[in-house]
Copies of this chain bind each other. A is one copy, B any other.
Amino acid sequence: MIIIGIHTFFTSLNDLERIIRCPGRFKFEEHNVAAHSWKVSQYAMFFGTLEEMNGAKINWKSLYEKTINHDFAEVFIGDIKTPVKHASPELKEMLAHVEEKMMEKFIREEIPPDYQQIFFERMKEGKDSTIEGRLLEFADKLDQFYEAFAELKRGNTDKEFVYMYQSALAKLIEIPLKNSVQYFRNEILNDAMAEETQIDLTHLTQEILQNK
């Protein structure tokens, strides 16, 4: 028996509660993709407001849809290990292509016809050059920053988290969102550095900041 309809889409959301981020690494605390998506939407809410207070025009509907949908495609492929993503540009492109094809197939088969066009629009890659796309990129990297921060704070000595921490930090401060980046550097990093941590995060942070 074939089940077609939005019911399949809704039950697939549950699958994302079982896709664990950073698969295969030792970590003191696991995070799933559903909870990650929610945290990203929360960060976006704050930085969208901050940019708006500094004069930007935010399309909120687009911003929130970008954040809550940005990792939905992992329901098809899982959270592929980071080194794979960076193994080669061809593979990265190929994987993006497959993801797109599987999403397309899913929408054609499971989403009621009247809604297909809207779903195609919503589920496509959100990290474009619009301010909403940049806010998504910023919020997504910020969650990577916080996930690595928490592991290092608790004493996880796996080098992968040092790499994740520094790589998220380096990307965050380069995203073209002047006010958000400034706020992050002046307020958030200060508060974060004031915390007691098992691993010396001030040093790891300075290494990145001084190179920029």
Contact = CB atoms under 8 A, between A and B. Distances in A.
The prevalent SS among residues of A at the interface is: helix
Contacts of A115: 46, 49-50
B23 A26 contact: no
Interface of A: 1, 3-11, 13-20, 23-26, 28-29, 31-32, 34-35, 37-39, 41-43, 45-46, 49-50, 53, 60-61, 64-65, 68, 75-81, 83-84, 87-88, 90-91, 94-95, 98, 101-102, 112, 114-115, 118, 122, 142, 146, 150, 153-157, 187-188, 190-192, 194-198
A171 to B, nearest CB: 17
B88 A101 contact: yes
10 contacts: A15-B25, A19-B23, A26-B150, A34-B35, A41-B41, A45-B68, A46-B115, A77-B80, A77-B81, A78-B84
Given A13-B39, A61-B64, A76-B81, A187 B5 contact: yes
A35 B26 CA distance: 16
The count of identical subunits is: 6
Contacts of A142: 10
B153 A154 contact: no
B157 A156 contact: no
Contact of A102 (B32, B83, B150): B83
A191 B8 contact: yes
